[in-house]
A and B are shown apart, each in its own frame.
Chain A
Amino acid sequence: MALVTDEISAAPKRYGIEFTASASEYFSIWIVNLFLTIITLGIYAAWAKVRTRRYIWANTSLAGHPFTFHGRPAAILKGNLIIAGMFLIYVATKKFEPVIAGALFVIFGFIFPFLVYKSLRFNAHNTSYRNIRFRFLGRLRESYETYLLFAGIIPCTLFVFFPAWQFYKKRFFFNNLAYGATQSSFSGRKGPFYRAYFFASITGIASFMFLSWAGSYWFHRLSMSWGATPGTFNLIYTFFFSSLLAAVILYTVQAVIYSITMNHCWSQTRFGNLQFRSTLTTRHLLFIRITNIAAIIFSLGLLVPWAKIRRLKYILENLSIVSTQDLSTFNGSPGSELSALGDAATDFIGIEIGL
C-alpha cells in the first residue's frame, strides 16, 4: 500500500493539555452549589453538576482552546429524579420485603448497561472542542455484552476474568468515540490489564504485610507508654487503624491499576492521525491520593475542591496529544439530541468511566 502523506502535516507535533482551574475559584463555586443543593433538597444538584462540569472543561485547554460542556440541567434533573425514585423504592422495600428489593436489584442489573450506554452518549455529545462535538458510537448490544454478560460470568471464572472485563469496559469506551467526523480506533490488549492486576495484588499483599507489622509495632509502643488500657482506647484505635490500613492498601492497589491501564489505553487510542501519550506514575497518584484524603479529613471537608482540582491537574497535564494532522483541520458531523438519564445514573452509582 502506498503511503500517502501530506507534506505539511507529516511532521508529528506534540500538544500538552493545560489545566487552569484554580482551587479558590472552584471552592466558591462548590460552596454555592452545595448551599443551593441542600436548600432545594437536591433539585439544584442538576444545575450544580452542569456548572461544575462546565468549569472543569472550560479550564481544560489544548493548543490554547478550551473544551466546552453543553449538558442541559433539565435533562440531568430528569435522570436524577428517576434514579432517586428507584433508590427510594429499593430502600423502602429492602428491610421489610427482601423479595421485592431483590427483584428490583435484578431489574436494575438489566437496566444498568442501558444507563451506561446513555451516559457515554450524553457525555460525549455534550462535550465539544473548537465547536466540534464528540460522539459516542458504541452499540447498545455491546454495552449489554460488556456490563451484563461479561460481568455476569466473572464469578464463574473465579475472578480470573476480572482484568479482561476491565479491558472490555475500556475498549467499549475508547474504541467507540468520535471527534466530529473522525472516529477513534483502539488497539489495546488484555496483557497490560493482567499485568496491572498482578502488580496490584503483589503490591497490595506487600503493603498489607509491611503496614500490619508497622502498625502492631507502634500499637505495642503506644500501649506500653500509656499503660495497658484495654477497652475503649483499644477498640477505637483498632477500628481507626484497620480502616486506615484498608484505605492505604486500597489506594495503593487503585493507583497501580489506574496508572498502568490508563497509560496503556491512551497510548493505544487514535483519532485518525492523532495519538495520545499518558505519563501517569503510580507513585505520584498514590501520593496525591493519600495527601488529598488527609487534607480533606483535617480540614473537615473544606479542602475537597482543592483536592479534586489537584488530582485532575495531575491526570490531565500528564496527557498529551501527538498529531501529524493540524488540529484545526478536523471536520464536524451532524449530531443528534440525547437524554441525560444515563448521565445522572452513572454519577449516582459512582462508577467511573473514561478519565
Chain B
Amino acid sequence: MIYFTADYFDGKTSRAYPVRVAFDGIALVISDNMQDNFYNAQYSSIEIDPALGRTKRSIRLPNGSLLQTNDLEAVNALETATGINRSWNWVHYLETRWRAVVVCMFLIVAALFGLIYYAIPYAANYAAQTIPLQVTSSASKQALRMFDQRFFRPSGLNAGRKQEITSLFGRTISRIDPAYVNNYTIVFRKGMSLGANAFALPSGIVVVTDELIALSDNDDELTAIFAHEINHVKRRHALRSILQSTGVFFLVTLLTGDVTSIANLASFLPALLIENGYSRDFERQADHEAGSLLIGLGKGTGPFQNILQKIDSSHPQTLKLGVFSTHPETVKRIEYLKKLDLASKKQDQSSHGRLPLKNDLCYNGWIPDPWIL
C-alpha cells in the first residue's frame, strides 16, 4: 500500500479539496478528511506528469480531475509499482545527478566541436556538389551590378592587353577545371577605392581590376591569382559558405532557443567567429590549390608570394583582425606557400607536387573583402 495526501481539483471549480490517497496495487482510492471514499481510479487509466525538479507532482484522473501533491517519494513509489513513465524517468535521473549534468556539459562541447568542424562543412560540401552552378547566375550578375554601381569604373585596358589576359585566364581554367571551361568568364574593371583586387562570383565570373594587372610583373603572378579564384568557383566555396552559415544559424537557434531575448548579443559574436573561420579555411584551400598548380608547372610558389606581398603593401590600411578576419593574414599565407615549396622539393621530382590537403573540407565569404583577393 502507498499512502499520501494531496489536493484534489475536480475541474469544475477552482476549489482545492485536501484528500488522502491510497494505492492498493490496482486502484487509487481517494478519500476526504472524513475518511469517506469518494472516488476510485484504476491505475491503468491515470496519467502522471513526469517528475521535474522538486516541483509538485500532478496525477490526472479519468474523470478530468487532478491530484497535486508534495509527497514526491510516494509518487515515485507509485510510478515504480505501476510502471507509469518508465520510459521518461531517465531524463529526470540525468537532471538530478550532478555527475550526469557535468558529463552532459562535456558532451555538449564535444558535440559542438564535431558539428562545427566536421558535420556542418561535410554536409554543406555534399549539398553544394549536388546543386547546379546555374542557380547562382542571377544572384552573381546582381552582385556584379552592385559592385559596378558602388565601386568600379570601366576598365582602361586596351583591347590587345585584354585579349592576352583572357587567353592566359583560359589556359589556367583548362588546367584546373577542364570539363567546365565554359562556366567561367573574366571581367575587367577599374578598381577605384578597392584598388588592386580580384574576386570570383559563384557562377564563375572572375573580376580583376586594372590596378592588379598593373601591379603584376609577369603572367605567372596573374596565373596564381586566377588559379586561386577559379578554385573558389570549382570547389563551390560560395554555395558552401551560405550552407554553412545556415548550419551555424540553426545551431545558434538550437542553443539559444531556450532564452529568447537575453542571449542575442552573446550569440552573435560566436556565430561571426565560426563563419569567419570557415572563410579562412576556404582561402587556405584556394591558396593550396593555386600553389600546387604553380609547383606543377615548375614555377614554384614564388610568383604567388610576390603578388600577395604586393597586393598587401598596396593596401596600407589593411587591418590585422586575426580571428575577426575572413582571410588569413598575408604573412601566414606566404609562409604556407613557402612550406608548400619546401615540401614539393623534398618529394620525389616525378610527383606532381600535389600535397594531400590537411583538411579537404575547408571553405568562403562570397562577397569578397574589399582588401585582398
Residues of A within 8 A of B (CB): 22, 25-39, 42, 45, 48-49, 51-52, 54-55, 58-59, 65-66, 68, 84, 88, 91-92, 95-98, 128-132, 180, 231-232, 235-236, 243, 247, 289, 292-293, 296-297, 301, 304, 307-308, 311, 327-332, 347-348, 350, 352
CA distance A58 to B257 in the complex (A): 20
**Contact present for A301 and B263 (CB under 8 Å):** yes
**Contact present for B108 and A301 (CB under 8 Å):** no
**Contact present for A33 and B258 (CB under 8 Å):** yes
**Contact present for B258 and A236 (CB under 8 Å):** no
**Contact present for B263 and A304 (CB under 8 Å):** yes
Cβ contacts A to B, 20 pairs, < 8 Å: A27-B101, A29-B95, A31-B108, A34-B254, A35-B104, A35-B108, A38-B108, A38-B255, A39-B107, A58-B56, A66-B56, A68-B66, A96-B135, A98-B139, A130-B14, A243-B265, A304-B259, A331-B12, A331-B13, A332-B14
Is B22 positioned at the interface, with any CB of A under 8 Å from its CB?
A: no
**Contact present for B66 and A131 (CB under 8 Å):** yes
Closest residue of A by beta carbon distance from B251: A38
**Contact present for A301 and B14 (CB under 8 Å):** no
- The A-contacting residues of B in range 1-49, CB under 8 angstroms, are 7, 9-16, 49
Instruction: Using known A-B contacts A28-B96, A59-B55, determine if residue A330 contacts B112 with beta carbons closer than 8 Å.
Output: no
Q: Given the complex, which residues of A lie within 8 Å of B56, measured CB to CB?
A: 58, 66
**Contact present for A55 and B53 (CB under 8 Å):** yes
- Tell me the dominant secondary structure on chain A's binding face: helix
A132 touches which of B13, B100, B255, B259 (Cβ 8 Å): B13
**Contact present for B13 and A329 (CB under 8 Å):** yes
**Whole-angstrom distance from the CB of B370 to the nearest CB of chain A?**
14
Q: Given the complex, which residues of A lie within 8 Å of B136, measured CB to CB?
A: 95-96
User: Size class of B's contact patch?
Assistant: 35 or more
Additional 17 contacts, C-beta under 8 A, given A68-B58, A293-B262: A25-B54, A28-B98, A29-B95, A38-B112, A39-B107, A48-B258, A55-B53, A55-B55, A96-B139, A97-B138, A131-B66, A293-B266, A308-B258, A331-B12, A332-B11, A347-B257, A352-B261
Q: Given the complex, which residues of A lie within 8 Å of B258, measured CB to CB?
A: 30, 33-34, 48, 52, 304, 308
Q: Given the complex, which residues of B lie within 8 Å of A293, measured CB to CB?
A: 262, 265-266
Among B224-232, B316-324, B339-347, the stretch in contact with A: B316-324
B52 touches which of A27, A55, A65, A243 (Cβ 8 Å): A55
Q: Given the complex, which residues of B lie within 8 Å of A34, measured CB to CB?
A: 104, 108, 254-255, 258
Is B246 positioned at the interface, with any CB of A under 8 Å from its CB?
A: yes
**Whole-angstrom distance from the CB of B252 to the nearest CB of chain A?**
11
**Contact present for A51 and B52 (CB under 8 Å):** yes
CA distance A55 to B111 in the complex (A): 26
Closest residue of B by beta carbon distance from A99: B138
Is B185 positioned at the interface, with any CB of A under 8 Å from its CB?
A: no
Interface centre among A58, A296, A307, A308 (most CB of B within 10 A): A58
CA distance A25 to B98 in the complex (A): 10
CA distance A318 to B172 in the complex (A): 71
**Contact present for A292 and B262 (CB under 8 Å):** yes
Q: Given the complex, which residues of B lie within 8 Å of A297, measured CB to CB?
A: 265-266
Is B357 positioned at the interface, with any CB of A under 8 Å from its CB?
A: no
A54 touches which of B52, B94, B246, B324 (Cβ 8 Å): B52
